[in-house]
Structure 1
């Protein structure tokens, strides 16, 4: 049995605070991601660049955030979800295993929220594993339609007999997407509540890891003062049996 360690983390674009109190957390996040010791790390709200903040913070990394956060020996994949006035941000995947292919699908439901799916195929000990990184909308009806589009994407892009992981920020505080995801053959950890938001007092289970063709084994959310400073979300780390 091969255990696949998967982490998902909304990094809040590597910056915390507002106005003069803003602070750059991307360097601390790099250490945190390394500590996951995960085979696959799924990240949301990752910046490729931001011209204004690059000038504001003297220690802004020269690499894009996905590349900077990638531990030594990992491959990084990034795809843009949203283009803003000063830059752009989206989803990223960091993999200890070779990335065979990658792609992206726009699942924006309305013009006020730009959302997308990052899809990658990873070769784990000669077994192809597909991974989809998601960041769904803030409105429940939008999330339902986005899950339906996720299902269409999986049917089109992922062979039915191939292991699949779907992870990210689902914004599903009422756990109302469990049944639609189960209808797609995607299961998560039954009966376990793992709140990840807000980081300072986690009450909502927004970040989830679903799997098809893999067995969920364990999951946990790290806690502590350092984690509350780095992002408004806490990471979720899981082990899946391949």
Structure 2
């Protein structure tokens, strides 16, 4: 009896002689699969436009740790969602080096490749330019764009940032204003950029519906204090009952950072999801946000 007793190691874990134990990280329970997205239902009336909106930092088309080119898989995964509006960050417009080294590199700019014919409006704002190409933010849409502008909010020349502002005409006659952002890495840079974003939104009439999404790089809650509260914006996830914005970074393993946000005004959030698990955990270093948003003509 004494020869076969379980022994406790220095960490208090029990083991039996002759039985190899799996490492502790292998014994963790896996996160359950995300709930499927709700089926697309028709809008309740002709005055309501029901939108499926995605915000996604695509990491220039590379998977986590830059080990694998995933841009083709991203396109398939995004189109499977049937989105009406897609806000993209870290979009590679051109990169001559990657195009020469990787046969799978798209011949088109990434925003055009991802849009395909299903999202005919493709607006791109280049922010970082170098000798091999450029990258920035992009917005893809099923609806016609009325106007757009890319605002340079770079804190200095080594970290180029922009706010891409687009106005879309919805089928119910409403003009929806969309802001796609990727903010700086340091807190004082982000505060300056949030102040500029607040100025741009404050210049719009208060009844105009607004969607603001992207990679805020905000490890705290500065965006709520400096942007959302003063302008009457609502975090799309707290609007559905969450206590805080969701964790989206890193995509693989345990997500700890609430870096990606979607804020809305002038409509109703019907559902909100973080797209976890495969394929999303292997496509980029961020997880995408998905919401269903009703905009009504008043």
User: Normalising to structure 2: TM-score of the pair?
Assistant: 0.76
Q: 1:195 aligns with which of 235, 241, 247?
A: 247
Tell me if the contact between 1:34 and 1:71 (Cα under 8 Å) persists in the aligned partners: no
Q: 2:279 aligns with which of 226, 229, 234?
A: 226
Residues 1-242 of structure 1: matches in 2 within 5 Å? 1-16=48-63, 22-74=67-119, 75-125=121-171, 126-156=173-203, 158-181=204-227, 182-188=229-235, 189-190=237-238, 191-200=243-252, 201-242=254-295
1:201-230 alpha-carbon deviations (Å, 9 max, x no partner): 211111111112122332111111321211
Deviates more, 1:213-222 or 1:203-212: 213-222
Deviates more, 1:176-185 or 1:74-83: 176-185
| Distance of 1:153 and 1:37 partners within structure 2 | 30
User: Normalising to structure 1: TM-score of the pair?
Assistant: 0.93
SS in 1 for 2:246: coil
SS in 1 for 2:78: helix
Tell me if the contact between 1:33 and 1:71 (Cα under 8 Å) persists in the aligned partners: no
**Structure 2: gaps (5+ residues):** 1-47
Q: Greater Rg, structure 1 or structure 2?
A: 2
Tell me if the contact between 2:88 and 2:138 (Cα under 8 Å) persists in the aligned partners: yes
Equivalent residues, number: 239
Tell me if the contact between 1:137 and 1:170 (Cα under 8 Å) persists in the aligned partners: yes
Displacement of 1:160 in angstroms is 2.9
| Distance of 1:71 and 1:160 partners within structure 2 | 34
Superposition RMSD on alpha carbons, in Å? Answer: 1.6
Displacement of 1:34 in angstroms is 0.6
Structure 1 outlier segments of 4+, above 4 Å? none
Tell me if the contact between 2:128 and 2:136 (Cα under 8 Å) persists in the aligned partners: yes
Tell me if the contact between 1:44 and 1:134 (Cα under 8 Å) persists in the aligned partners: yes
Tell me if the contact between 2:64 and 2:282 (Cα under 8 Å) persists in the aligned partners: no
Tell me if the contact between 1:45 and 1:91 (Cα under 8 Å) persists in the aligned partners: yes
SS in 2 for 1:240: strand
| Distance of 2:293 and 2:248 partners within structure 1 | 19
**Structure 1: gaps (5+ residues):** none
| Distance of 2:199 and 2:72 partners within structure 1 | 37
